[in-house]
Each structure stands twice: as C-alpha cells, then as structure tokens.
Amino acid sequence: MVFRPPPRLGGYPLKRTMQTYSIRSLARNARSFHENWTAAWRSPEPKPAYDVIIVGGGGHGLATAHYLAKNHRIANVAVLEKGWLGGGNTGRNTTVVRSNYLWDESAAFYEKSLQLYETLSQELNYNVMLSQRGLMLLCHSQHELHDAHRRAHAMRLNGIDSEFVSRENVLRMVPFLDGSPTARYPLCGGLLQRRGGVARHDAVAWGFARSADAFGVDIIQNCEVTGIRRDATGKIAGVDTTRGAIDAPKVAIVAAGHTSVLAAMAGIRLPIRSHPLQALVSEPVKPMLNVVVNSTQVHVYVSQSDKGELVMGAALDRFQSYGQRGSLPVIEDQMAAIVRLFPIVSRLKMLRQWAGIVDICPDASPIIGKTPVEGLYINGGWGTGGFKATPASGFCFAHTLAKDQPHPLTAPFNLDRFSGGRLIDETAAAAIAH
Ligand SMILES: Cc1cc2nc3c(=O)[nH]c(=O)nc-3n(C[C@H](O)[C@H](O)[C@H](O)COP(=O)(O)OP(=O)(O)OC[C@H]3O[C@@H](n4cnc5c(N)ncnc54)[C@H](O)[C@@H]3O)c2cc1C
C-alpha cells in the first residue's frame, strides 16, 4: 500500500527555493568578495495568463502573493507594479507598528498583524528590523485622559497589552518633552503599548518579494495596469498593461492611493477620498528618544531612527490630489507642533520631506474582500495606517482569493458595510486628523 501523508488545509506546502541569509552564507560569500550572491528576486517577462493577478507591488500586494503561495499553494500568480517595488506608500511611511485600536474588529485584526510581525524576520529569512520600543500616546486634557483609559480597558479586554502611564512616568520615559507648567499643551499622562514600535518598511516589501519569488510568483516591475477586462457575462477576464494584455480569472487591486482609479476601470465607484500625506526627517542627532511618541492634539508623531534622525509625520493635506508632494502649510504646522512638544529641537535642520497618496474611507477603516464583480477583489482604503497591517492584510486577503470567502478577521471590513451602515469608526485610532 502506498503511504499518503494526511491532507493539510491548503494542500502540501510548495517548495521555496532561495539562498538563505545566515552567518555561514555571509562568511562563504565574503571569500569571493560578495560577488556571487544571487539576485533576491527574478525579473521575468509577463506570461500570457495567470491564476491570479495582483495589481500593486507594495507591501500588501507582495504579502498577499507570499501567503497565497505558502498557505494556499497558489503560485501561478503575477504581481504587477507600475514603478518599483515598495515605491508607493510602503517606502514612504514612517514605519510605526502597533495594535492599540478601540473596536473589537480592528483590535483582533491589527493584533494578528503585530503577532505576525513578531516572527516575520524568521518566516522570511530577512531582517525586517522590528524594534518594539513602545508607543506612547500623549494626553493633554481631561478629555484625552478619559479616552485613553477607555482605550486601555478595551485593549486589555481584547487581550492586547496596554498601560496607562502617569505624567511623571511619561516624563521619565521621554525626558525631553516639555512638561513645564507653562507648556502650551499641558501634559496629563500617556497610553503606552510596549509591543508597539517600528519596522524597516523597505525590508518588509523586499522580504515578502524574495519569498514570493522563491515560491514561483512572477514579480513584474515597470508594468502599469491600464484597463481591467470583463467577459460577456461580466466576470473578470484579465488586465491590459503597458506590457500587453494578461489573462486571469481573478484580479486583486492592492494599489493604495489609486484604489478608486483601478476600481473605476471595472466600473466600480468606491467611497474613498485620496489625499497626500507628508513626512519629514531631521538631521541625525545623538540618541534622545527611545519610544515612539504620538500626540493627536498637538498633531505630530515622532520616533528616532537607528541613524539618529527624527522621523515625523503629521496631518493629511486638506485637498484631494494624486501629486506625491504635499503642501507647505502642513509642514509649518508640523514644525510648530514638534517644537511645542520638544523645545530642544527648535534649531534642528530638516533633511528630507516627502508625501504619499493615501486612500481614506468614511470610517477610516480599510476595505478588504470581494466586490460585486465576479473575480475582482479589493484591498485598499488603508488611509494613514496600513503599514502595520501589512502581514495580516496579506494573510487574510490570500485566504479570500484562494477560497473566494472572507477571512473571519477581515469579514467586517467588506464593501457592504457602507450600504448596511455597519461602519467601524476608527478615526480616533488613526492617530492623525482626517
Ligand atoms: C507619509 C506616510 C506616513 C505613513 N506612516 C505610517 C505609519 O507610520 N504606520 C503605518 O502603519 N502606516 C503608515 N502609512 C500608511 C502606509 O504607508 C500604507 O497604508 C501602506 O504602506 C499601504 O501599503 P500598500 O502595499 O497597500 O500600498 P503601496 O505601497 O502604495 O503599494 C501600492 C502599489 O500599487 C502601485 N500601483 C498603483 N497603480 C497601479 C497601476 N495602475 N498598475 C500597477 N501598479 C499600480 C503603486 O505604484 C504602488 O507601488 C503612512 C503613509 C504615508 C504616505
């Protein structure tokens, strides 16, 4: 009798063929002056047809490809990227990861994501430089104190670490904060999630790309999707691109900032607004900040990078636009805010400023799941906070693509919630104004 191993959910794992990064391979390659490393991923020509096409080579698209191959054995997949991998919001964000959300749906989803982050470097054999240095949300009024207590209790009920920190202890942890009685914004306390922190954004995209490629996924850069084709019955048939037409029965739109542009190609109108969101980094200074500090009221958040730069983000630009630049008044407000919190930085020079385009839903929660068009799936509307969602988004969206059903963690984030009125209002947890 032939022995057959017991069936597993999603079938038998696909083989992943990639060079491992380890101290041994480093030493081996040092002997040949590091000239024999193989490329981290291939640059294949597009095939005429695939089982699944993912539009968008940011972190979410690449994570989806990785989990489709790894968990569901679907590797006849193309990730089509109009520019370069991670050149969208993935490579433009301020790298904060956390799961300090109020509502149960968000808490469960973002906590899953943080848990996946905690083992991601091992899973991908790629250092995503997760640094769980803690995330401190400052409270400047009694109202914010009440809100922070409420959020801390809600988080604990959901099994997520959270601590309310007194004013004195906030100042102990963040000594350069202006805690004086004459401070423009008085400090009343803080909400701390110790497991929050930062991760290296490029590394997350590159790690997922390397792994997906090793499973056999085709990652095709400089390939813009210009149209979405449907057959005579209305089902998805494929896409038109700047490198020719490609057929597929399933197309997944994972194109943050341009979700509604892509959806319109298939005749779908989404409840999404697209705005520029800016960030800045300062010149490097000696270590002065070892937690991520966020003030919703003063309107800035800041962390210090390994290089010593202060990495800052602030509010959305008020106007809607697809120009990845942003406007001067937001930068001025951001500078005023950081100086109010940390007067010590007033003479620091800013090195770089940039912007990405973020898609905002009315409830500041994402859309992830099926659409009314058979074979078309959407993963977007992540607004200002989708980097932290990257692993769980890929994990759950791959499930939806493979099984044609929502994953339990993302089922509440479907498109129907806007017509059914089941909004998940996370505007406050988004940490910045919308
Ligand atoms: C300044 C800034 C700071 C942020 N800070 C944080 C933070 O600290 N923490 C956090 O959690 N989140 C943060 N975010 C949000 C976060 O960056 C995004 O939610 C997340 O990166 C979205 O990832 P993605 O893979 O969906 O999108 P992207 O990385 O934008 O990938 C989408 C890709 O689709 C491609 N594309 C678009 N149209 C087409 C087309 N027609 N054909 C082919 N490809 C196409 C784009 O080129 C792009 O590469 C920030 C965003 C910005 C802009």
- Please give the pLDDT value at position 314: 79
Note whether residue 36 is domain-resident.
no
210 and 338 fall within a common domain: no
Give the end of a domain, one of 313, 341, 360: 360
Which residue among 89, 99, 294 is best mutated to probe the pocket of ligand 1, counting the most ligand atoms within 8 A of its Cβ?
Answer: 89
Q: From CA 343, how far away is CA 41, in angstroms rounded?
A: 46
277 and 353 fall within a common domain: yes
Note whether residue 28 is domain-resident.
no
Number of structural domains (the chain) is 2
Give the Cβ contact number of residue 255 at 10 Å.
27
Is residue 114 in contact with ligand 1, taking CB distance under 6 Å?
no
Tokens encoding 376: 């078309």
217 and 283 fall within a common domain: no
* Residue reference for tokens 């981290």: 40
* Residue reference for tokens 């400023």: 353
Q: Are the C-beta atoms of residues 188 and 83 closer than 8 Å to each other?
A: no
CATH number at residue 167: 3.30.9.10
Give the residue numbers spanning the domain of 309: 135-191+273-360
Q: Are the C-beta atoms of residues 302 and 293 closer than 8 Å to each other?
A: yes
277 and 356 fall within a common domain: yes
CA angle 252, 257, 263 (to 5 degrees): 40
- Please give the pLDDT value at position 9: 43
Q: Taking phi first (over 0 means left), then psi (-120 to 50 degrees means alpha), and beta for anything else, what does residue 193 get? A: beta
Q: Are the C-beta atoms of residues 98 and 212 closer than 8 Å to each other?
A: no
- Please give the pLDDT value at position 431: 55
The per-type count for the chain, helices as H runs and strands as E runs, is 11, 19
- Cα(89) to centroid(ligand 1), Å: 3
- Please give the pLDDT value at position 181: 87
Note whether residue 163 is domain-resident.
yes
Please list the alpha-helical segments (H only) found in 293-352.
Answer: 328-341
55 and 185 fall within a common domain: no
Q: Taking the chain (434 residues) in consecutive chunks of 10 residues, what is each chunk's mean pLDDT?
A: 43 78 95 94 97 98 98 97 97 97 95 98 98 97 94 96 96 95 93 98 98 98 98 98 98 97 97 96 96 93 96 90 90 94 95 95 96 98 96 98 98 95 82 52
Nearest partner of 224 among 266, 264, 268, 255, judged by Cα = 255
Note whether residue 19 is domain-resident.
no
Q: Per-residue pLDDT tens for 352-361?
A: 999 999 999 9
Residue 167, SS3 per DSSP: helix
282 and 180 fall within a common domain: yes
Is residue 412 in contact with ligand 1, taking CB distance under 6 Å?
no
- Please give the pLDDT value at position 14: 80
333 and 260 fall within a common domain: no
Note whether residue 32 is domain-resident.
no
Is residue 315 in contact with ligand 1, taking CB distance under 6 Å?
no
Looking at residue 181, the DSSP 8-state letter turns out to be: T
CATH number at residue 98: 3.50.50.60
414 and 337 fall within a common domain: no
Note whether residue 433 is domain-resident.
no
Torsion sign (Cα): 23, 24, 27, 30: negative
Give the end of a domain, one of 334, 360, 386: 360
- Please give the pLDDT value at position 253: 98
Note whether residue 25 is domain-resident.
no
Note whether residue 16 is domain-resident.
no
- Please give the pLDDT value at position 315: 85
105 and 47 fall within a common domain: yes
Strands 367-370 and 376-380 come out as antiparallel
Q: From CA 68, how far away is CA 77, in angstroms rounded?
A: 9
Is residue 46 in contact with ligand 1, taking CB distance under 6 Å?
no
- Please give the pLDDT value at position 325: 87
Q: From CA 238, how far away is CA 249, in angstroms rounded?
A: 7
Give the Cβ contact number of residue 387 at 10 Å.
25
Give the end of a domain, one of 315, 336, 360: 360
82 and 174 fall within a common domain: no
Nearest CA to ligand 1 atom 49: 88
Burial of 104-124, coded b for 16+ CB within 10 Å and e otherwise, reads ebbbbbbbbbbebbeebbebb
154 and 265 fall within a common domain: no
- Please give the pLDDT value at position 12: 58
Does this model's pTM top 0.85? yes
Residue 51, SS3 per DSSP: coil
- Burial level of 250, CB count in 10 A (0-12/13-18/19+)? buried
Q: Per-residue pLDDT tens for 147-175?
A: 999 999 999 999 999 999 999 999 999 99
Is residue 94 in contact with ligand 1, taking CB distance under 6 Å?
yes
210 and 351 fall within a common domain: no
